[in-house]
A and B are shown apart, each in its own frame.
Chain A
Amino acid sequence: MAEQRNGPRAERAHRTREFDAFVAGAAGRLLHTATLLTAETRTRNPYAQTLLTAALAHTYAVWERLRDEDPYELTRRDLAARFARTAWRHHGGRGGVLSALLPQERLVVVLRLYEGVAEEQVAALLGLPEARVRAVHARAVATLRAGRDSTGKPAGRTAA
């Protein structure tokens, strides 16, 4: 890999290197998030991969204009928005742990509990009032617990 100092090509190579480093570090976690959203399984997640590729392509396109913004956060936001737009295609679960939930419930649960995004940020991201996000979250948690209890797992209190 010869260093080339001829304007746009060197710039592009530099950007690609930085981007590759970012993807190498973040793709595993982001793909896990995407797979939880689409309710696919760990080994078979074509929709999640498509979503993540599109979100990462967007991040690559704005890479030069990222000032103090965290590329991970940007990609996560784009991923969530993309999923929200196309959620009707991912309606039914495909065997993931969140298959029992609706797409919007999955979005709220994953952003709140897995990604640890604050409630008001989730509300802003989805364009919903905070009270609604809280309600969806509570319903989703209840559904998940009920599902677990009915499949013979120990009830919430005992799981420590």
Chain B
Amino acid sequence: MSRYEDKEAAVRRLLDTPHPPVPGHLAGTAAERGSRLLRRHRAVRRAAWTLFALALLAFVLWASVAQPWEAPAAETTPPFDGL
């Protein structure tokens, strides 16, 4: 075993002390905050999807009215020197 590994093992022993006591409310608080986080994420996701659907609807309506794929009507009429 090298000198360095020796030192590492000593530090590892230094860290390996008894665990601190866990306060009883920790799991409950974490679950409470977690479910609040989850609700918020869901609300944000729902809002984003709603916004997306509205934008899509607006685009479809606009496109069906404006029909931008149609060639625009000629602005000028070619001269017609009748007969």
Contacts and interface: CB of A to CB of B under 8 A. Distances in A.
Contact of A42 (B11, B17, B38): B17
Interface size grouping (class) on chain B: 20 to 34
A20 interface: yes
B7 to A, nearest CB: 5
Given A56-B26, A57-B33, A114 B10 contact: no
A39 to B, nearest CB: 12
B10 A156 contact: yes
Interface residues of A, number: 43
A19 B27 contact: yes
Given A19-B27, A59-B34, A60-B31, A113 B22 contact: no
A110 B15 contact: yes
A80 interface: no
Nearest to A138: B4
Max chain B CB contacts within 10 Å: which of A20, A27, A43, A60?
A60
B27 A56 contact: yes
Contact of B20 (A42, A63, A138, A141): A42
Max chain A CB contacts within 10 Å: which of B3, B26, B27, B35?
B27
B20 A32 contact: yes
B18 A42 contact: yes
Contacts of A36: 15
Interface of A: 12, 16, 19-20, 23-24, 27-29, 31-32, 35-36, 42-43, 45, 48-49, 52-54, 56-61, 63, 97-98, 109-110, 113-114, 138, 141-142, 144-145, 148, 156-157, 159
